[in-house]
Amino acid sequence: MEATSMQQKSFLYPPGGIMIWILITLEIITFGAAMIALGVSSRENPELFHISRLKLNTLMGTVNTVFLLTSGYFMAVAVQHVKQHMAPEAAKNILFALLGGLLFVVVKGFEYYAKIEHGYTIGYNTFFTFYWLLTLFHLIHVLVGMGILTGLYFSVRKGITETRQENTETGAAFWHMCDLIWLFLFPVLYLIF
């Protein structure tokens, strides 16, 4: 009977709480729907989408993928340190995760600047409308995630409590959502069309 209760509790109370997982599911559905719309639009004018994709900087996209994945790794390590009540180590790894996010934002800023300089703005064509909407929406999530990680850093530095552990798991879940969405966006925008 107790094992069943534990299984029910872990399903109903996943790491970070059920609400963050509902939010993550809704965000993934939103991005997924937008990427499906991108795919449908690309079928109407495949040459335009292919030529437009070639105007993207795949190297910058790849570097940003590495930054976000590395950042996600450090956040996962931070969660493990929090569970082991190793506050200084957890805080250090949260800082590394934040650094990865910051590097992502800097590279994305250079990429955006280059696109604007060449006139590839949101209204340039259908591909770039999708590019700007999807990547800006993702960038907003990264910035929100960095705000969450900053709060976690200062909180964890004070020591580990049950609440801080739950908050760290919740923040990590949100941060990993940013990673996951980018792992779909990168190939769809930079490699496929």
137 falls within a domain: yes
Judged against a pLDDT cut of 50, whether residue 4 lies above it is answered with no
Number of domains in the chain: 1
On whether residue 8 sits in a domain, the answer given is: no
Q: Is the pLDDT of residue 44 over 80?
A: yes
161 domain residue, yes or no: yes
* pLDDT of amino acid 86: 94
* Residue 13 predicted with pLDDT over 90: no
Instruction: Judge whether 5 lies within some domain.
Output: no
- At 22, the pLDDT band (50, 70, 90 cuts) reads confident
Q: Is residue 3 one of the residues assigned to a domain?
A: no
Least confident of 5-9, 79-83, 102-106, 128-132: 5-9
Taking only the tens place, the pLDDT of each residue in 51-62 is: 999 999 999 999
Domain membership flag for residue 2: no
Tell me if 106 is assigned to some domain: yes
Banded pLDDT at 3 (limits 50, 70, 90): very low
pTM of the model as a whole: 0.86
List pLDDT tens digits, range 150-187: 999 999 999 988 888 888 999 999 999 999 999 999 99
Domain around 87: 16-192
Is 127 contained in some domain?
yes
At 7, the pLDDT band (50, 70, 90 cuts) reads very low
Q: What is the pLDDT of residues 135-155, one digit of tens each?
A: 999 999 999 999 999 999 999
- pLDDT-based confidence at residue 5 (cuts at 50, 70, 90): very low
- What is the CATH classification number for the domain harbouring 27? 1.20.120.80
Q: Write the pLDDT tens digit of every residue in 66-110.
A: 999 999 999 999 999 999 999 999 999 999 999 999 999 999 999
SS3 29: helix
